[in-house]
């Protein structure tokens, strides 16, 4: 970074960071034991929430210059937000992190290819569901072509980081594009009608995890919901927000609010913890736009995770759920737990399945290392966290590891692959498992 | 010294530090230095030149020797949770991180001791010994985060201090690195040991001003068989204070007897959502432990006393789980209060427990007099109160009034036969008042000891010994 760039960043920190929120951290350190990167780095303050807030405040106060070390400290944060529920002072760490990342990203000097790639991914791909469908359908063509076997055989994937190579193996089979396109937009309730819900279909959830979305719809129907899938909805914008592209995220938030207002449902349902956590903060990210903030609040008030709505509608008592005898454990989605505060419901649902012996995993509430695109941009730390996570998973002797977010699902699949247990252990989304138990 | 000379001196120092602890354990990056420029004390921040992480006692001693030779200030540090600015590196120099010395070395079930390195988190010790049916009573509110080394240096207390005392009461032996580079051992696994001055007690609570504790052997006791928790609710703060005195006067020593005022109750409830009643003026959280029948009897008598002292309600925790939730909630009091205003300044005034009601009243009068907002919670049973001022460091006029209010609170505490700090240490925040408590001659004794052990004065500069004692508003009686 040049001196001028540093000055500009410093200026933006002074202008844009929420200074009251920075001061709100009274440095008690209650966050430290909950921070995965603080623990994994051997208790380095630089990689703790308290340390990161001090760094942000340090730049704002002009005590330190923004440099690569500080950028790295912020980059290494998983954004799991486990520090928030344990913070007695109620510091909104996630918001501070998003703001700081956004400022740093704005001033980042990136090589032309990286810039183009970012622009491509953030502006041209994710905000356009049809393009995303195209992109994933290419993956589907690749998967069905027999190429993966060849690629693995000739060691092509070895050219990529270990984490990517593992990931490639565990990606779900993408449905054909036609199948996605032909899915109806309305599904009628079964049994007694309880509510009308609008499904937030998501971007990757509605392509790569299409079958999980279908399972979610089936569960909602069985629970007595009319299910609408509003047209014109987009990716939630979490990926953008967490990567410092807040401006783009705001645009997407507005389009989504528009799309869901039209549906006029009782609830808006998500089945991905990461998306849910971003959607539930639309009122925060649009806080400085008066004409949007009320609409955002209404949107937010309707939002519920699939587990939460099922429990609210007493699904587990009104249906017989049964699986072959097995031990099941649950890995929390950090965002579902720490931001949406949904953690007892998925456990309750799993415990109500006949044949399931539910075994709570030690540290189920800590991040698995997936964290959005973290496992791609910080593969080393992600794998370190995952390997420690797998030790805990194996201790439960579970046959099935249940998750509630696509990133976590892939990460757990990768973890199972890494410990060589593919075949004897599986990772599954809670919606898929519940549907299985129902049938 | 010219800038060039300073630079040269620092680069030479870095080279020598690196040769002792290795390159990756010396950090002079600006981010690395910044994150060790503070602890949990508001308004204190200063950048060290280096952050050094030794891996064993010998390295600690070598670093200290080097620092003595080069007259470099040393600030040893655990998790930085202390509240008297004791780990703030005010004069630059070195922050000596003890996080790599994090091993539990021995659990001796025959002698009932545990030997640990300073970087072990206190809660780990508690949990480990309790699994064996043993008990390490000191439990500072920060025990999930704080290191035992920090607890030893500050002589930390906690919620169980009333019955079991403070950290000092559980230290049997120490290994200490001295500023001259020597390693010494004090005490042993002995119940009886009167050989020479009690150096163990001298170093415990010396706040890093004499040496660095590199190993400690702690005393364990059998784990109490059972415990029970009650909440007594009051609409009159003084009635709560009177209850404390009456309970003790009835020859009952609960393990925990905590006081929370309404502001604190509300802030804690806002964080924990465990159902604390926010419509009462004060709560006493009372725990007794021991043999089942005695606990039953004591809790029953205590509840009776609370009722007779005008408690509006007395509730028994339904389960151990609920009791634990209440204790955990209480531990978050200080940080939860920080929700209310940008700056939260907590003090540690302590009085004989018979004076609790008087002190609580005095604190609210003083707050009113200086027009500042002070909430009070604390370990009422042992007289250790935490009047906590909710303020904004950016408001200079208010900050001046806050300082005056606290000066008067300290003065009142001492007048009632109390002290400046019951468990947090003197550090920087209370150094200007220490002479009020010890007298000039007392400070001189301390200076003599400091001079003998740390002649170059490198250890934790700026702490405990004040450059200037604050003038008392009212002349000492």
**Could you tell me the sign of the dihedral formed by the alpha carbons of A145, A150, A151, A153, in that order?**
positive
Lowest mean pLDDT among A52-66, A336-350, B317-331: B317-331
Share of chain A above pLDDT 70, in %: 92
B102, pLDDT greater than 70: yes
State yes or no: pLDDT of A207 exceeds 90.
Answer: no
Contact across the interface for A28 and B338, Cβ inside 8 Å: yes
**Predicted pLDDT at A26:** 92
d(CA B404, CA B45): 22
Nearest CA in chain A to B337: A89
Minimal Cβ distance to A29: which of B40, B99, B270: B40
Give the pLDDT of residue A113.
67
**Six-digit token pair at A408?**
């976590």
The answer on pLDDT for B48 being more than 90 is yes
Total Cβ atoms within 10 A of residue A126: 24
- Quick one: pLDDT band at residue A439, thresholds 50, 70, 90? confident
* pLDDT value for B476: 45
Q: Tell me the average pLDDT across B112-131.
A: 98
**B263–A contact, CB cutoff 8 A:** no
A75 in contact with B at a CB cutoff of 8 Å?
Answer: no
Instruction: Report, as an integer, the average pLDDT of A44-54.
Output: 97
For residue B473, what pLDDT is reported? 65
Asked if residue A264 has pLDDT above 50, the reply is yes
Per-residue pLDDT tens digits for A365-406 = 999 998 877 877 888 999 999 999 999 999 999 999 999 999
Q: Give residue A241's pLDDT.
A: 84
Top residue of A20, A24, A26, A39 to mutate, by most chain B CBs within 10 Å, is A26
Contact between chains at A88 and B47 (C-beta distance less than 8 A): no
Backbone angles phi, psi at A90, to 5 degrees: 70, 35
Checking if the pLDDT of A67 tops 90, the result is yes
Q: Do A88 and B100 lie within an 8 Å CB cutoff? A: no
d(CA A111, CA A324) in angstroms, rounded, equals 54
Q: How many CB atoms lie within 10 A of CB A170?
A: 18
Measured CA to CA, the distance from residue B166 to residue B155 in angstroms comes to 7
Q: Which of B26, B29, B35 to mutate to test the interface with A (most CBs of A within 10 A)?
A: B35
Å between A250 CA and nearest CA of chain B: 28
Q: Is A238 exposed, middle or buried (0-12, 13-18, 19+ CB in 10 A)?
A: buried
Smallest CA–CA distance, residue B272 to chain A, in Å, is 8
What mean pLDDT is predicted for residues B13-40?
97
pLDDT score of A319 more than 50: yes
Q: What pLDDT score does A8 carry? A: 92
- Gap between the Cα atoms of B305 and B257, Å rounded: 13
For residue A384, the model assigns a pLDDT of 94
Would you tell me which residues 84-113 of chain A have a C-beta closer than 8 angstroms to some C-beta of chain B?
87-90
Mean pLDDT of chain A: 90
The structure tokens listed for A66 are 């923004």
Model confidence at B475, pLDDT cuts 50, 70, 90, reads very low
Q: Work out the widest C-alpha separation in chain B, in whole angstroms.
A: 73
Mean residue pLDDT of chain B comes to: 94
Terminal C-alpha separation, chain A: 59
* A30/B144 Cβ within 8 A: yes
Give yes or no for A344 touching B (CB within 8 A): no
Query: With 50 as the cut, is the pLDDT of residue B349 above it?
Result: yes
Task: Pick B477 or A249 by higher pLDDT.
Answer: A249
Do residues B53 and B21 make contact, with C-beta atoms less than 8 angstroms apart?
Answer: yes
Count residue pairs from A and B with Cβ separation < 8 A: 98
Q: Who wins on pLDDT, A147 or B31?
A: B31
Contact call for B332 and A88, based on CB within 8 A: yes
pLDDT at position A150: 67
B375 in reach of chain A (CB within 8 A) = no
Q: Report pTM.
A: 0.91
The answer to ipTM > 0.85 is: yes
pLDDT in the model for residue A162: 67
For B264, the closest chain A residue by CA position comes to A88
pLDDT tens-digit series, residues B265-311? 999 999 999 999 999 999 999 999 999 999 999 999 999 999 999 99
- Kindly report the nearest CA distance between residue B329 and chain A, in angstroms: 9
Look at residue A208 and tell me whether its pLDDT is greater than 90: no
Task: Name the pLDDT band for B477 (thresholds 50, 70, 90).
Answer: very low
Phi/psi at A325 (5° precision): -55, 130
- Whether A46 and B35 lie within 8 Å, measured CB to CB: yes
**Residues of A (24-63) whose Cβ lies below 8 Å from B:** 24, 26-30, 32-33, 42-43, 45-46, 48, 50-51, 54-55, 58, 63
How distant is the Cα of A90 from the closest Cα of chain B, in angstroms?
A: 6
How far B266 CA lies from chain A's nearest CA (Å)?
12
Once rounded to an integer, what is the mean pLDDT over residues A273-279?
94
Q: What is the DSSP string of B198-229?
A: -HHHHHTTSTTSS-EEEEEEEE-EEPPSEEEE
HEC-encoded secondary structure of B393-409: CCCHHHHHHHHHHHHHH
What pLDDT does residue A163 have? Answer: 65
Could you report the per-residue pLDDT of B317-345, keeping only the tens digit for each?
Answer: 999 899 999 999 999 998 899 888 889 99
């Amino acid at each position: 970074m040049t001196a001028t760039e540093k000055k500009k960043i410093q200026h933006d920190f002074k202008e844009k960071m929420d200074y009251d929120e920075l001061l709100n951290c009274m440095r008690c350190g209650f966050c430290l034991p909950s921070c995965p990167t603080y623990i994994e780095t051997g208790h380095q303050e630089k990689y703790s929430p308290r340390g990161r807030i001090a760094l942000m405040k340090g730049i704002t106060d002009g005590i330190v210059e923004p440099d690569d070390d500080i950028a790295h400290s912020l980059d290494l944060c998983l954004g799991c937000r486990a520090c928030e529920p344990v913070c007695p002072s109620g510091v909104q760490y996630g918001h501070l992190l998003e703001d700081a990342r956004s400022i740093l990203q704005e001033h980042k000097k990136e090589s032309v290819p990286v810039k183009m790639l970012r622009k491509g991914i953030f502006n041209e791909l994710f905000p356009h569901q049809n393009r995303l469908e195209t992109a994933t359908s290419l993956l589907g063509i690749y998967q069905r072509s027999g190429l993966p076997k060849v690629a693995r055989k000739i060691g092509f994937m070895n050219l990529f980081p270990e984490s990517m190579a593992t990931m490639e193996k565990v990606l779900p089979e993408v449905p054909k594009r036609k199948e996605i396109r032909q899915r109806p937009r309305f599904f009628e309730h079964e049994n007694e009608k309880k509510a009308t819900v609008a499904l937030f279909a998501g971007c990757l959830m509605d392509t790569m995890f299409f079958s999980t979305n279908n399972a979610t719809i089936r569960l909602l129907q069985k629970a007595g919901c009319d299910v609408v899938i509003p047209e014109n909805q987009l990716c939630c914008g979490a990926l953008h927000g967490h990567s410092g592209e807040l401006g783009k995220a705001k645009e997407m938030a507005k389009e989504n609010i528009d799309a869901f207002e039209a549906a006029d449902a009782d609830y808006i349902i998500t089945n991905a913890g990461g998306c849910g956590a971003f959607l539930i903060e639309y009122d925060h990210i649009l806080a400085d736009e008066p004409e949007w903030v009320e609409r955002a609040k209404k949107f937010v008030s309707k939002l519920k995770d699939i587990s939460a709505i099922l429990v609210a509608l007493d699904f587990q008592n009104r249906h017989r759920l049964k699986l072959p005898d097995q031990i099941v454990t649950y890995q929390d989605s950090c965002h579902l737990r720490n931001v949406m505060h949904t953690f007892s419901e998925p456990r309750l649902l799993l415990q109500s399945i006949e044949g399931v012996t539910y075994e709570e995993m030690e540290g189920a509430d800590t991040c698995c290392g997936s964290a959005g695109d973290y496992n791609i941009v910080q593969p080393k730390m992600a794998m370190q966290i995952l390997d420690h996570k797998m030790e805990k998973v194996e201790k439960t002797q579970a046959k099935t590891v249940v998750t509630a977010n696509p990133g976590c699902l892939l990460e757990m699949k990768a973890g199972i692959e890494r410990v060589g247990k593919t075949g004897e252990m599986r990772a599954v989304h809670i919606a898929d498992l519940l549907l299985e138990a129902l049938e | 010294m010219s800038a060039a000379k300073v630079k040269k001196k620092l680069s030479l120092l870095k080279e020598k530090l690196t040769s002792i602890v290795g390159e990756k354990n010396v950090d002079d990056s600006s981010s690395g230095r910044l994150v060790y420029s503070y602890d949990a004390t508001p308004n204190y921040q200063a950048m060290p030149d280096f952050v050094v992480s030794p891996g064993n006692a010998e390295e600690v001693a070598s670093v200290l020797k080097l620092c003595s030779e080069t007259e470099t200030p040393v600030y040893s540090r655990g998790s930085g949770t202390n509240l008297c600015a004791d780990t703030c590196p005010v004069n630059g120099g070195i922050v000596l991180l003890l996080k790599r010395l994090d091993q539990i070395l021995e659990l001796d079930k025959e002698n009932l001791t545990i030997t640990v390195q300073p970087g072990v988190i206190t809660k780990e010790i508690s949990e480990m010994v309790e699994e064996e049916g043993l008990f390490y009573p000191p439990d500072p509110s920060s025990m999930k985060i704080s290191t035992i080394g920090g607890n030893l240096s500050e002589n930390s207390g906690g919620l169980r201090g009333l019955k079991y005392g403070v950290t000092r009461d559980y230290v049997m032996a120490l290994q200490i690195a001295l500023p001259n580079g020597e390693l010494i051992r004090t005490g042993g696994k002995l119940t009886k040991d009167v050989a020479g001055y009690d150096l163990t007690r001298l170093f415990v609570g010396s706040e890093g001003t004499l040496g660095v504790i590199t190993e400690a052997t702690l005393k364990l006791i059998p784990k109490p068989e059972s415990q029970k928790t009650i909440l007594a609710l009051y609409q009159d703060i003084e009635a709560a204070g009177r209850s404390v005195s009456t309970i003790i006067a009835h020859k009952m020593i609960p393990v925990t007897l905590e006081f929370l005022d309404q502001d604190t109750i509300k802030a804690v409830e806002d964080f924990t959502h465990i159902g604390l009643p926010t419509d009462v003026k004060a709560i006493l959280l009372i725990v007794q432990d021991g043999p089942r029948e005695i606990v039953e009897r004591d809790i029953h008598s205590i509840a009776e006393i609370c009722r007779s002292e005008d408690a509006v309600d007395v509730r028994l925790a339904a389960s151990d789980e609920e009791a634990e939730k209440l204790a955990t909630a209480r531990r978050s009091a200080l940080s939860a209060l920080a929700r209310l205003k940008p700056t939260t300044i907590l003090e540690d005034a302590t009085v004989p427990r018979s004076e609790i009601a008087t002190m609580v009243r005095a604190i609210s009068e003083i707050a009113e007099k200086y027009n500042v907002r002070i909430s009070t919670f604390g370990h009422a049973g042992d007289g250790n109160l935490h009047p906590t001022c909710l303020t904004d460091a950016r408001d200079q006029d208010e900050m001046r009034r806050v300082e005056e209010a606290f000066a008067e609170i300290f003065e009142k505490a001492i007048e009632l036969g109390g002290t400046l700090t019951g468990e947090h240490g003197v550090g920087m925040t209370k150094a200007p008042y220490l002479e009020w408590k010890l007298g000039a001659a007392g400070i001189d004794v301390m200076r003599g000891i400091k001079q003998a052990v740390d002649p170059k004065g490198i250890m934790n500069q700026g702490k405990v010994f004040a450059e200037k004692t604050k003038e008392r508003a009212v002349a000492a009686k």
